[in-house]
């Protein structure tokens, strides 16, 4: 097995969310929230630690209308209505490790980002930063867990419904 490291640079939106049905006298938003991250702006992409920016060479976006619907469905941990807190972190770098067979050639066109398209008014599009796709398989990152929910909160709102 060999590994290929994809690093993406850009501005990240950290979204903390919590169903209002989970609030109690003992616990509020900060005792129950989950985190997901999305790209607000993509500026660069590298393969391994090479300096060439390959952002325009990657595969096409995979569009979905199910990301937020799955996140906030009735049978998940956070059904609507959902309180949301967002923050933007500028010039962030997130890496993803792709595992290939020793004889398998890496193809930049097989690297794709997933974009939620017009699922909710608050996020007309959301480019998922928690994972990328390579050859149709999810490649997660573990680098989006370091964002503090009480730090740099600039927006707080409730999502009542999805489109």
**For the chain, percent of residues with pLDDT exceeding 90:** 74
Largest CA distance in the chain: 58
From start to end of the chain, where are the E strands? 2-19, 34-47, 62-64, 82-100, 111-112, 114-120, 123-128, 131-134, 137-140, 155-159
The overall average pLDDT reported for the chain is 91
Cα–Cα distance, 91 to 141 (Å, whole number)? 17
- Residue 9, pLDDT above cutoff 80: yes
- Model confidence pLDDT, tens digit, residues 116-163: 999 999 999 999 999 999 999 999 997 766 666 555 557 899 999 998
User: Is this structure's pTM higher than 0.85?
Assistant: yes
- So where are the chain's domains? 2-159
Cα–Cα distance, 27 to 47 (Å, whole number)? 43
Name which residue leads in pLDDT, 53 or 144.
53
Q: What pLDDT score was predicted for residue 145?
A: 61
- Model confidence pLDDT, tens digit, residues 23-46: 877 778 888 889 999 999 999 999
């Amino acid at each position: 097995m060999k590994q290929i490291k994809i690093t993406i640079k850009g501005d990240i939106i950290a979204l903390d969310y919590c169903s209002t049905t989970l609030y109690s006298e003992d616990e509020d938003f900060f005792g129950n929230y989950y985190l997901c991250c999305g790209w607000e702006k993509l500026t660069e992409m590298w393969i391994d630690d090479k300096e060439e920016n390959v952002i325009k060479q990657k595969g096409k976006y995979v569009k979905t209308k199910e990301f937020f619907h799955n996140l906030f469905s009735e049978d998940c941990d956070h059904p609507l209505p959902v309180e949301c807190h967002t923050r933007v972190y500028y010039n962030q770098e997130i890496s993803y490790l792709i595992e290939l067979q020793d004889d398998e050639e890496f193809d930049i066109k097989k690297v794709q980002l997933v974009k939620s398209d017009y699922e909710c008014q608050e996020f007309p599009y959301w480019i998922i930063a928690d994972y990328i796709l390579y050859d149709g398989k999810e490649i997660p990152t573990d680098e989006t867990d370091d964002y503090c929910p009480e730090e740099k909160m600039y927006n707080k709102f409730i999502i009542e419904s999805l489109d």
